[in-house]
Structure 1
Amino acid sequence: MEKTTRKRRTYDPADYVRQLRRLTEFMRVVDKLQPDRNAWDIEGEWNGTGVIHFVDAKSQSLFEDFQHFDCRTIKLVNYGRPATRLTFFKKHKYILLKDADLTREEKEVRITTYINEITVKRAIKLDRVDKLTGAALSDERGQIGMLEQEIKTWKEVSLNLDQYDFAISNYRRDYQYVTLNYKYKSSEQEYANAQEHLLNPQRDKQGVITQQRYNIIFVDTTEINREHPHQHKEIENFLNNFSLVTQTGKQQLYARPKPTEPVTDELSSLRKDMSKSKIHGNAQNPTLFDE
């Protein structure tokens, strides 16, 4: 059974595990490509993000059943749009939900979840406080006192929801995501651009990876070996009509021979000139037949 929420899809746990196992197995057995910076049209670095598997677009059919699977640990970055050009860069990604975006139930759930989390932390600290002495004991008691005050404060808030404005954001967490900007063929002759953030591994407070995450990027193995335009196709098409291009400086000079006028146009122009001459000549030198 699948339910749709505002942000992500939720699944029955057994169904989610079943799909995850199948997807993991396909990811494990599919042939992987090694990116070649000398041959591929590729820029940027992807250090610091989850594991990236570059996969030949010919293998996309293996993943057809998972194109709409909202997996938390494996991302099909560009299914159906095999990349012809890849550019990686880091981006500060965050969400901001204001009070009007949140239902009363969401507020209650958030507060209750937080109170439960810090209550558990307090209990863990209380269990080990008797084993500490000196400065460590004083520090631990101080942290327990802060947690107790935090619990008290948020319980008070939960009892008076209508007196508070709320917001949800991870802005100050400074989450840096490696983002992929890629080009793909939208038709036989045209290209389009798209952008996706990549999954980061989950880490503890010390920065140690506690759960790895994976990104599968499908690659057009023929087109990736060509250089592709960076700008709008109209500009590209316009500049492609020039046969001469300078190769130095920040700006390039483009030149092309002007097209010669067709013979028919020249004859037409000549006939018009002759016709005008006759008219003007007749007007200036009338004859007996003009009247």
Structure 2
Amino acid sequence: MLVDSHCHLDYLKRDGRDLDEVVAAAMRSDIGTLVTICTKVSEFDTIREIAETHDRVWCSVGIHPHEAESEPPVDAARLIELAKHPKVVGIGETGLDYFYEHSPREAQKASFRAHIEASRETGLPLIVHTREADEDTVAILEDEMGKGAFPGVIHCFTSSRWLAERCVDMGMAISISGILTFKTAEDLRATVEGLPLDALLVETDAPFLAPVPKRGKQNEPAFVVHTAQRLAELKGVTPEELAQATTDNFFRLFSKTARPQEAV
């Protein structure tokens, strides 16, 4: 069994996809658990409803750095309150994006720290988006770790080896998307090859970033098998060993979830 640790089922629904079929296709590909990610607290009700409707789908609550200024102000207390729902298993996605800079950097940083506080207080993993912001991301994470530890994952990792190693040293996971399979991703593959297997997760970030051989199609959770296969080759393990390791890593980090055999 594999886990798609990060997808956006609400985006697929918005695009007219039948989520019952999307989830069923994932299950047929032995993707036993999905986490659909919140990017706007103002749309959290939709995210929560999707998770409530599908037994093997969980969700997060948070504000993407792109939305840090446009979303109504949300503090840690509000995130903590929303995270009490039994299907909410993570805080985010949050973080810093200096590539697009759709929100001012200071707004992104303030939102990031509010999410970290919520993660620390709830014990739910922080789901971090970082792009072209390695130094500030690490500085904030290390500063906040000094106030008290919290679990977390760098999602859709494409950053430097330096950032990956610093985050692993902090006890954070690194989640690998379909970008790993792209022809141009040689530097990423070289970095991931050197990371410990017990720190790795896999994800689709669907509907974005469909892996080879699905490039050009809308990404969906079932396609995470292709990323996992390429990651297994890179790490020198069998697909079964890779699936076992990344699934164990997921349930250790996202400890509020239940494995399929544990679900009631």
Rg larger for:
1
Same topology, TM > 0.5: no
Larger fraction in strand? 1
Please give the TM-score of this superposition, normalised by the length of structure 2: 0.22
- Structure number with higher helix proportion: 2
